[in-house]
Amino acid sequence: MPYEPILLARVAQPDSHRLEGYRADGGYATFERALKDLKPEQVVAQVKDSGLRGRGGAGFPTGLKWTFLPKDHPGPIYLCVNADESEPCTYNNRILMEKDPHQVLEGIMLACYAFKSQKAFFYVRYEYGDAFRTLQAAVDELYAAGLLGQNILGSGFTLDVVLHRGAGAYICGEETGLIESLEGKRAWPRIKPPFPAIEGAFRKPTIVNNVETLACVTQIMKRGIDWFKSLGVPPDPKNPRDAGSYGPKLYTIAGHVNDPKCVELPMGITIRELVEQHGGGVWKGRKAKAVNPGGLSMGYVNVETKLKDSDLTEYDIPLDFNGPGRVACLGLGTAAVTVIDDHTSMVDVLHNTCQFFSHESCGQCTPCREGTGWMLKITDRMRRGQGRKEDLDILVDVADRIGIMPGTTICGLADGAGWPVKTAIRKFRAEFEAAIKSGEKSKYAKTLSVVGAH
């Protein structure tokens, strides 16, 4: 039986972004009920017990994050909604914001009610003009309807939602980079501790949540824990630290597929199923070579590589919070699957990857600033047919040593910059060696120009 979308249930409806339509579909009833019947602690408990994990990339349990706020804080406490969706090939938040903004806004209202925040900052990346305008209209509708502002529906609960438009930098999606940017500073991630829940925006306790996470909050409060837990993958009993991968997830399919799109599925679908059944298969009748399982920074899987003791390949790993990690990828990330067909040179893929990260590194920590630049220079040379054998080892060495995992940077951008490099070289080493040996220039001789004014 095909899965019936929940988060995306309304996106195909006409005027799906309007308050009227959302209310007709039962919108804000959950929020009103929560205001009337539930204590804030009950909302926190329900979200926590649902096992919801953040949809932004790291998969941190949302309810647990909320409990990190100081107890009985006199306020203000802030919510920052992370809509700086800049991971390449990721657009699941965009669909929610453009087509069903009220579902997200209801999640914001529920979250703020839960942890007693009276102000939410909605940080939208600059490139999402439509989303920004749609959200602004939706927020205006809510103020007009008395669902935002002072003393909402006479409950004594006050909430303001402030839309903030970024200026176009990948690093603003890092939670403390986002906070710095929101404060009007350069988006240089902060050193932690203190974590934002203790000291965040404007030096006040702050929760940073992803757009899709908040949409899930709406549905969890509406449909309950049992519904949420009926979807997805339960925790691995052998791994006591695994919190499970429950719930629906928006997957985006991009790259060399016939039908690139965003689909909602329960967690745990395999890459093969996703590409073949939902993405229409690889384009032009070709075969997939490599797949990016969840945004560029998660690394690559080699479609041909067999898994240990099994006939399955890396193509068959499930897309839940643990699956990509089993094949040396960084994690699920944003669940944006990018397919690379067998006609594409991995040298070009890697160069393009390095170009992105060396452009987007904020430049604060030495290992990331210089490492990403160096990796770009090496891959650029390889692309020009002047690679050396030792370059591959240097690339892996540099990729391995930058990031918060070895402890050499402040934020995770460097991990994300290193992962695709090391997975590509480790998994496609023969192809790189052949390219270096042949000394052939890339078919795309000219450097791709970087789009954007920043």
- Asked if 127 is part of the footprint of another protein (rule: CB under 8 A), the reply reads no
Which C-beta is closer to another protein: that of 261 or that of 381?
Answer: 381
Q: Which distant-in-sequence residues (6+ apart) come within 8 Å of 144 by Cβ? A: none
For the CA atoms of 370, 374, 377, 383, the dihedral, rounded to the nearest 10 degrees, stands at -140
- Binder among 49, 183, 342, 390 for another protein (CB under 8 A): 390
Binding another protein (rule: CB under 8 A), the pick from 144, 394, 434, 450 is 394
Q: How far is the CB of 381 from another protein (least distance, A)?
A: 6
- Tokens of residue 56, six digits: 């932004």
Candidate residues 46, 206, 297, 361; the one interacting with another protein per rule CB under 8 A: 361
370's CB contacts (< 8 A; 6+ apart) are none
What's the min distance (Å) between Cβ of 404 and another protein? Answer: 8
Q: Does 372 bind another protein (CB under 8 A)?
A: yes
How many CB atoms are located within 10 Å of the residue 449 CB?
Answer: 7
Out of 76, 266, 363, 385, the residue judged to bind another protein by CB under 8 A: 363
Contacting range for another protein; rule: CB under 8 A; set: 6-14, 173-181, 275-283, 387-395: 387-395
Cis-peptide, bond into residue 74, ω within 30° of zero: no
Q: Is residue 353 at the binding interface for another protein, with CB under 8 A as the rule? A: no
- Residues in Cβ contact with 49 at an 8 Å cutoff, skipping those fewer than 6 apart: 63, 225
Q: Binding to another protein by residue 355, rule CB under 8 A?
A: no
| Coil vs helix vs strand at 162 | strand
* Binds another protein by CB under 8 A, chosen from 371, 416, 418, 420: 371
* From 364, 421, 422, 424, residue interacting with another protein (rule: CB under 8 A): 364
The correct pick among 197, 378, 425, 435 for binding another protein (CB under 8 A) is 378
> Of 155-214, which residues contact another protein (CB under 8 A)?
169, 186, 188, 191
DSSP code per residue over 424-442: HHHHSHHHHHHHHHHTPPP
Residue from 150, 258, 305, 366 touching another protein (CB under 8 A): that is 366
Two structure tokens written together for 191: 């050193």
Inter-residue contact 193 to 152 (CB < 8 Å): no
Minimum distance from CB of 366 to another protein (Å)?
5
CA–CA distance, 255 with 341 (Å, rounded to integer) = 8
DSSP three-state, residue 121: strand
CB atoms within 10 A of CB 36: 9
In the bound state with another protein, the residue whose beta carbon lies nearer, of 394 and 434, is 394
Q: Does 334 bind another protein (CB under 8 A)?
A: no
Q: Which token pair is 109? A: 């209202």
Residue 389 CB, nearest distance to another protein (Å)? 13
* 389 scored as a contact of another protein (CB under 8 A): no
Give the Cβ contact number of residue 226 at 10 Å. 8
Range in contact with another protein (rule: CB under 8 A) among 75-83, 218-226, 397-405, 424-432 = 397-405
From 242, 401, 433, 440, residue interacting with another protein (rule: CB under 8 A): 401
Q: Least Å distance between CB 128 and another protein? A: 20
- Assess 14 for contact with another protein (CB under 8 A): no
Question: How many residues lie near another protein (CB under 8 A)?
Answer: 36
Tell me how far apart the alpha carbons of residues 302 and 291 are, in angstroms, rounded to a whole number. Answer: 7
Instruction: Please pick, from the candidates 67, 136, 158, 408, the single residue that binds another protein as defined by CB under 8 A.
Output: 408
Give the separation between CA 414 and CA 357, rounded to whole angstroms.
8
**Minimum distance, C-beta of residue 26 to another protein, in the bound complex (Å):** 45
In the complex with another protein, the residue whose CB is nearer, 135 or 376, is 376
Contact, 81 vs 327, CB < 8 A? no
Binding positions for another protein, 22-61, rule CB under 8 A: none
Between CA 343 and CA 442 the distance in angstroms is 12
Query: Contact between 415 and another protein (CB under 8 A)?
Result: no
Minimum CB distance to another protein smaller for 75 or for 439? 439
Which residues make Cβ contacts (< 8 Å) with residue 434, sequence separation at least 6? none
CA atoms of 91 and 76, how far apart (whole Å): 32
Q: How far apart are CA 430 and CA 110, in angstroms?
A: 52
**Binding region for another protein (CB under 8 A):** 169, 186, 188, 191, 358-367, 369-374, 377-378, 380-381, 388, 390, 394, 401, 404-410, 454
